[in-house]
Amino acid sequence: MAKSIDISDVNIYYGDFLAVQGVNMTVKARQVTAFIGPSGCGKSTVLRTLNRMHEVIPGARVEGKVVVDGQSLYDPSVDPVAVRRQIGMVFQRPNPFPTMSIYDNVLAGNKLNAKKMKKDEADSIVEKSLKGANLWNEVKDRLAKPGMGLSGGQQQRLCIARAIAVEPQVLLMDEPCSALDPISTSAIEDLIHELKSDYTIVIVTHNMQQAARVSDETGFFNLKATGEPGQLVEFNSTTKMFSNPDEPATEAYISGRFG
Ligand SMILES: Nc1ncnc2c1ncn2[C@@H]1O[C@H](COP(=O)(O)OP(=O)(O)O)[C@@H](O)[C@H]1O
Ligand SMILES: [Mg+2]
């Protein structure tokens, strides 16, 4: 189920503005890949090109190739809605649907996919997804209660349950812990460790300790100057990145000299 992602010569634009230039990397299946780098260097922009969310913004476009397990995402025959289903996304702020119960939140993606499900099938998807997101024990007796009634950390795990309910191949996470307290952050990090046996995971984080804790490989993005496009400066195993990086700019960033 988990898939690798090959990114070649990717340039990403917002209208005429070249936001990110010349990205080449391979995201391995069943690994956690972290994107780090200073604010504005294009981490979220690159992440959104991996499930065709970028082009939702008017005037936004992508050049180059993104290939997921042999399938070129930007091929004209590819349906972007199907891509977004296979490649799920978890955002910075937990965003459960405010009017929906915990149960219906988990199934929201499945319902958008217009599947007419039987009750016992729906029940089993809800249970499996909440277990997968390490939330089942906390919510199993209150599934009909609103998703918004959960704590921030629980809401984020609910969003992860919603993302995995559609059985995606890849999970993209954009600073999923930035709105959470340390205990909830640690719960999400444990969950990321568990999920990588089934999913390919890409996580953007501004927290370098988090990148070091959760990821197998790390990409460091940077920009030469304001207004210049962001670039992938170095892509390496996380261990090497944080002990003996190849690029002086990576060394400067991880040792806290800028950003
Ligand atoms: N919706 C948008 N419209 C125009 N420019 C954008 C938009 N989103 C991001 N950008 C620009 O693209 C560049 C990269 O931004 P972003 O990917 O958000 O960086 P990061 O996630 O690393 O902080 C920045 O110059 C930012 O201002
Ligand atoms: Mg960002």
Rg value, the chain, Cα: 18
Residue nearest to atom 8 of ligand 1 (CA): 45
- Looking at the DSSP assignment, which residues form a beta bridge with residue 234? 220
The residues near 164 (Cβ < 8 Å, ≥ 6 apart) are 88, 129, 132, 133, 171, 195, 199
**What is the predicted pLDDT for the residue at 115?**
59
Residue nearest to atom 26 of ligand 1 (CA): 40
Residue 15 CA, closest ligand 1 atom number? 4
| Any ligand 1 atom below 6 A from CB of 32 | no
Residue 243: C-alpha distances to residues 61, 102, 162, 220, 222 (Å): 36, 42, 36, 14, 19
Report pLDDT digits (tens) over 176-205: 999 899 999 999 999 999 999 999 999 999
- Which residues keep their CB under 5 angstroms from ion ligand 2? 44
Report pLDDT digits (tens) over 16-33: 999 999 999 999 999 999
d(CA 135, CA 11): 38
What is the distance in angstroms between the CA of the first residue and the CA of the last residue of the chain?
36
Ligand at minimal distance from the CA of 231 is 1
The answer, yes or no, to whether residue 113 has pLDDT greater than 60, is: no
What's the rounded mean pLDDT across residues 24-50?
A: 97
Listed range (29-38, 117-126, 240-249) with the worst mean pLDDT: 117-126
| Residue 223 CA, ligand 1 centroid: distance in Å | 12
Residue 38 CA, closest ligand 1 atom number? 22
The answer, yes or no, to whether residue 110 has pLDDT greater than 90, is: no
The answer, yes or no, to whether residue 114 has pLDDT greater than 90, is: no
When pLDDT is cut at 50, 70 and 90, the band that residue 49 belongs to is: very high
Ligand at minimal distance from the CA of 220 is 1
| Any ligand 1 atom below 6 A from CB of 39 | yes
Report pLDDT digits (tens) over 151-173: 999 999 999 999 999 999 999 99
Rounded to 5 degrees, what are φ and ψ at 171? -120, 125
| Any ligand 1 atom below 6 A from CB of 44 | yes
Top mutation candidate among 11, 14, 18 for ligand 1, by most atoms within 8 Å of CB:
14
